[in-house]
């Protein structure tokens, strides 16, 4: 029996307007990265892009907004987009990724069709203050607890290869495992000339070790996804990635960087002998 892989797609519905100083993120206005910056996309465009993602096999669809967290305008916009998507598309796990969020905001999103909330811890608590000074790691962890409190599915992971130590990597994994998220995206840092973090300090073997530890700690029934940096770390070696415990990937583009075309990913999945999941039951 072939292994089933869940596909997820991302829609950056509010791009490049963040005031925070996260040193790994091109969406911060502080670093003047050469990315596309825009205010809210039209709801019609978001729905059409969701239809395209679903046609390519995506069962998870993530609505991302730049910025530290939710405010009244963002909450209402994401809720409107969610309602519009659910009206047009069935069997799609709708994920919101909008930064720090209160219990009241999360309840509102759940009421309007959001199934899951993504908020990554990014790195260890001790290393976080090195890469971000405008908000705390504890705020991120609390948002994840809020997600669980309101009964949304929790999607939480991090980024590896940002100059952190081996101890930081272990600490991040332990923090993620303590939350027992329904899905965990593992991202591998993508350097950008505009960002203060200039290089990536992680090898393919180290990335595989992280996947194996995450799978062991999270159990077999959770979604473990390789997202940003997949093409750079595992290009041509995807079988090893899946064998290590990955059962989900992001298709298409990421927030501000280009991913492989969905049809290229489909050929890759055929080549390594895995099947695309067709039910959202675990997504």
The pTM (predicted TM-score) of the whole model is 0.94
Return the closest-CA partner of residue 274 out of 104, 57, 76, 40: 57
Who has greater pLDDT, 55 or 257?
Answer: 55
What's the rounded mean pLDDT across residues 54-58? 93
Its CATH class, for the domain covering 3-282, is: alpha beta
pLDDT band at 207 (very low <50, low <70, confident <90, very high): very high
CA distance 201 to 14: 30
**Distance (Å) of CA 28 to CA 50, 66, 159:** 25, 8, 16
What's the rounded mean pLDDT across residues 241-245? 97
For the record, the structure tokens of 87 come out as 């009206």
The pLDDT tens digits for 80-133 are: 999 999 999 999 999 999 999 999 999 999 999 999 999 999 999 999 999 999
- pLDDT for position 19: 77
Q: Does the pLDDT of residue 260 top 60, yes or no?
A: no
Residue 123, judged by CB atoms within 10 A of its CB (0-12, 13-18, 19+), counts as: buried
Q: Does the pLDDT of residue 5 top 60, yes or no?
A: yes
Residue 205, judged by CB atoms within 10 A of its CB (0-12, 13-18, 19+), counts as: exposed
Query: To the nearest whole number, what is the mean pLDDT of the chain?
Result: 91
- Sole residue written with tokens 């059409």: 48
pLDDT band at 17 (very low <50, low <70, confident <90, very high): confident
Q: Does the pLDDT of residue 59 top 80, yes or no?
A: yes
- pLDDT for position 1: 62
CA distance 147 to 228: 23
Task: For the chain, give the percent of residues with pLDDT over 70.
Answer: 93
Q: Does the pLDDT of residue 58 top 70, yes or no?
A: yes
Q: Does the pLDDT of residue 27 top 80, yes or no?
A: no
Sketch the domain layout of the chain as residue ranges: 3-282
- pLDDT for position 161: 97
**Rg, C-alpha atoms of the chain:** 17
DSSP sequence for the chain: -PEEEEEEEEEEEEBS-B----TT-TTBTTTT-S---BSPPPHHHHHHHHHHHHHTT-SEEEEEE-SSB--HHHHHHHHHHHHHHHHH-SS-EEEEE-SB--HHHHHHHHHTT--EEE---BS-HHHHHHH--SS-HHHHHHHHHHHHHHTPEEE--EEE-SS--HHHHHHHHHHHHHH--SEEEEEE----TTSS-------HHHHHHHHHHHHHHH-TTSEEEE-TTHHHHHTT-HHHHHHTT--EEE-S--SSS----HHHHHHHHHHHTEEE---GGG-
Return the closest-CA partner of residue 182 out of 211, 212, 153, 213: 153
Segment among 82-91, 231-240, 249-258 with least mean pLDDT: 249-258
pLDDT band at 256 (very low <50, low <70, confident <90, very high): very low
What's the rounded mean pLDDT across residues 147-159? 98
- Sole residue written with tokens 């969610």: 82
Q: Does the pLDDT of residue 266 top 60, yes or no?
A: yes
The pLDDT tens digits for 175-186 are: 999 999 999 999
What's the rounded mean pLDDT across residues 195-209? 93
pLDDT band at 257 (very low <50, low <70, confident <90, very high): very low
Who has greater pLDDT, 238 or 34?
Answer: 238
What's the rounded mean pLDDT across residues 128-142? 95
């Amino acid at each position: 029996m072939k292994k089933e892989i869940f596909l997820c797609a991302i829609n950056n519905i509010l791009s490049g307007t963040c005031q925070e100083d996260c040193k790994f993120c091109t969406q911060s206005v502080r670093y003047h990265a050469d990315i596309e910056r825009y205010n809210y996309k039209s709801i019609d465009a978001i729905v059409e892009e969701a239809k395209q993602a679903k046609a390519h096999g995506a069962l998870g669809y993530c609505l991302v907004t730049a910025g530290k967290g939710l405010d009244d305008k963002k909450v209402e916009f994401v809720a409107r987009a969610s309602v519009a998507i659910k009206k047009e598309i069935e069997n799609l796990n709708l994920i919101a990724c909008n930064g720090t969020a209160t219990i009241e905001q999360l309840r509102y999103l759940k009421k309007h069709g959001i199934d899951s909330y993504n908020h990554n811890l990014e790195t260890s608590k001790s290393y976080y203050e090195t890469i971000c000074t405008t908000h705390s790691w504890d705020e991120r962890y609390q948002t994840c607890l809020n997600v669980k409190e309101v009964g949304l599915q929790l999607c939480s992971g991090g980024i590896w290869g940002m100059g952190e130590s081996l101890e930081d990597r272990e600490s991040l994994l332990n923090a993620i495992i303590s939350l027992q998220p329904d899905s965990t995206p593992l991202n591998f840092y993508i350097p950008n000339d505009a960002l203060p973090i200039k290089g990536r300090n992680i090898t393919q073997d180290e990335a595989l070790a992280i996947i194996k530890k995450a799978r062991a700690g999270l159990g077999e029934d959770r979604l473990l996804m390789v997202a940003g940096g997949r093409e750079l770390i595992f290009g041509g070696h995807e079988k090893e990635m899946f064998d290590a415990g990955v059962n989900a990937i992001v298709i298409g583009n990421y927030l501000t960087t280009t991913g492989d075309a969905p049809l290229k990913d489909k050929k890759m999945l055929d080549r390594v002998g895995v099947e695309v999941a067709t039910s959202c039951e675990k997504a």
